[in-house]
Chain A
Amino acid sequence: MKRKRFSFAAFYLALVTLITYLPIAVVVVFSFNDSKLPVAWKGFTWRWYETLLRDAALMEALRNSVVLGLVSCAFAAVVGTLGAIGMARVHYRSKGMMEYLSTVPIMLPEIILGMVFMAFFSLLRLPFGWPTLILAHTSFCIPYVYLMVKARLVGIDKSIEEAARDLGATPARAFFDITLPLILPAVASGCILSFAMSFDDVVISIFVNGPTLSTLPIKVYTQMRTGVTPEINALCTILLAAVVLAQALSAALRRGALRREESNDKGERV
């Protein structure tokens, strides 16, 4: 009887997982289909990838997305990392409130964040385009870096840095020699996460991108509204590969850090 129940569980897990992967598989498979319509399989082709590479507007949108992701992620890395380090040590009364406020951008529904930024940026008379896109994306990237680094700091022995300071290291030196190497994996995985989020964002970008600047997801979104084309399949497949790669990298970094920690612990015990 126990066996039977287990096989139902396995069947259920397999079925739901299969359905989960179906749409992704469909997108990938039809990107290689030698037909304009994603209806029936007509043979293998690279054609759509070639048209994609020749599409100047799409390529520019891709460039914009990469630049936007890198810049926002760099800003978020500095602000979020410093913030998490500082917050672990200060005891202001505003700390709890501020901690909550700084994570608001990933707690609020995207649509609200988008419209709030649109209204606020036009109040400030900021030129819509790069400045507004970078500010908006930085705001929702910071929480990812902040939370990652904060979680990592909990596991770090503060006395190591204090020892460095007692031995005469300047705060800057203690930071660069001790704290930074220890939290670097968390910073890196926070960065990769926020880059992925920035690279994927449609809703917030649509509100603040301005009339001429377009990111890749915005391009994909507007094309999807008019109908499906194999070029989008090809584009989606490339994006998919990029995201899976980034995730694997992030996971590897985290695992590497964990393993190093474990071996350190063993070393201490001996």
Chain B
Amino acid sequence: MKPRQRRERWWLCVAPLYLFTLLFVLGPVLYMIAVSFAQNTAGTGFRWAFTLENFAKMRDGVYLNCFRESLRLALSTTLLNVLIGYPFGYFMGRLGARGKRLMLFLVMVPFWTSSLIRLYGWLIILQAKGLLNNVLLALGLIREPLKILYTYPAVLTGMVYGLLPFMILAVYTSVEKMDWTLVEAARDLGATPARAFLTITLRLTLPGLMSGVILTFVPSMGLFFIADLLGGNKIVLVGSLIQDQMTRGGNQPFAAALALVLAVMTTLLLALYRRATHMSELEGML
């Protein structure tokens, strides 16, 4: 009798969370899905009439190009992050306890620093009369200042830079947990270092690499202010398109449809991630 009485009270504790989540998470998301099937009217309004025209509109070259551009940027960002972040996480995981603590701190500080501030630093470095051009000029490598800011490489730099900590931390956690005696055993049995790495280390750290890939790929699909600040308005990503349609364009149904497609892509990838690894790893990183 007594334990049951106790258990019944707990609904009071979860009630605010349930209420808030239903009202301000599930509600808005369902509403967005509904709007994506509504019909846009002149001005900022829309009409409730079931239509697929918002999705059909995305087949237009301009918008397809946006998706292609976003995907290309997200993929190159992720690939570069793997190439730079994996060795970093790997080397970090092989350090002694003190080295690990120091590196972890050094990685975390920029991670928690405002992304705007770090972008602003790149803005200063990359601008026409900025640090990078001055250094290159002084070294005699170039004669005229290069135009770096407001180009694709500048955006890519900003993206890779912003998301690298995710990759490093994901790889590091899996390298740290690894059982190194397996590698030693393989070496004792005559495997070359390269072979031991490929068959054992790489395979055991694959979940970490996977979660790093998803942790960088997912946000890079939606990030728009890096492209906006470092790329000028030349590179239009799905994110900037959504913002534009929502504010200046006044086409809410189309913005909702774009967001829905982006969200579905993201959710599918996250589901993949959840299956490939354990959710608790992600939670532990927060």
Contact = CB atoms under 8 A, between A and B. Distances in A.
Nearest to A95: B14
Interface string B130-143: 11001000000000
Contact of B32 (A115, A220, A228): A115
A182 interface: no
A23 B18 CA distance: 42
B109 to A, nearest CB: 6
Given A13-B88, A239-B117, A111 B242 contact: yes
B152 to A, nearest CB: 19
A203 interface: yes
B129 A37 contact: yes
Interface in B184-228: 218-219, 221-225, 228
B124 A26 contact: yes
Contact of B221 (A107, A109, A236): A109
B147 interface: no
A203 B259 CA distance: 14
Contacts of B262: 109, 111-112
Given A23-B121, A110-B222, A228-B120, A82 B13 contact: yes
A24 B123 CA distance: 11
A147 B26 contact: no
Nearest to A246: B112
Contacts of A30: 124
A252 interface: no
Interface stretch (B2-10, B51-59, B61-69, B174-182): B2-10
A119 B252 contact: yes
Contacts of A78: 16
Contact of A12 (B91, B114, B130, B286): B91
Contacts of A111: 222-224, 239, 242-243, 259, 262
B113 A83 contact: no
A86 B19 CA distance: 14
A82 B16 contact: yes
B12 A144 contact: no
Contacts of B13: 82-83, 85-87, 89-90
B229 to A, nearest CB: 6
B20 A20 contact: no
A148 B91 contact: no
Contacts of A116: 28-29, 31-32, 259
Contacts, number: 232
A119 B17 contact: no
B115 interface: yes
Nearest to A17: B106
B114 to A, nearest CB: 5
Given A23-B121, A27-B121, A87-B14, A202 B222 contact: no
A179 B173 CA distance: 30
Contact of A217 (B116, B134, B284): B116
Interface in B123-175: 123-125, 127, 129-131, 134, 161, 164
Q: What size tier do the contact residues of chain A reach?
A: 35 or more
Interface in A33-47: 37-40
B25 A90 contact: no
Contacts of B221: 109
Nearest to A143: B286
A115 B25 contact: no
Interface string A230-252: 00110010011001100100000
A207 B246 contact: yes
Contact of B25 (A101, A225, A232): A101
B276 interface: no
A239 B117 CA distance: 9
A109 B255 CA distance: 14
Given A86-B14, A102-B25, A240-B114, A228 B239 contact: no
Contacts of A53: none
Interface of A: 9-10, 12-13, 16-17, 20-27, 30, 37-40, 78-80, 82-83, 85-87, 89-90, 98, 101-102, 104-105, 107-112, 114-120, 123, 135, 138-139, 142, 144, 146-148, 150-151, 165, 171, 193, 196, 199-200, 202-203, 206-207, 217, 220-221, 224-225, 228, 232-233, 236, 239-240, 243-244, 247
Given A16-B84, A111-B242, A199-B114, 16 more contacts: A22-B121, A23-B121, A38-B124, A39-B134, A86-B13, A87-B17, A98-B17, A109-B221, A112-B266, A115-B256, A116-B28, A139-B24, A151-B284, A224-B116, A228-B123, A232-B120
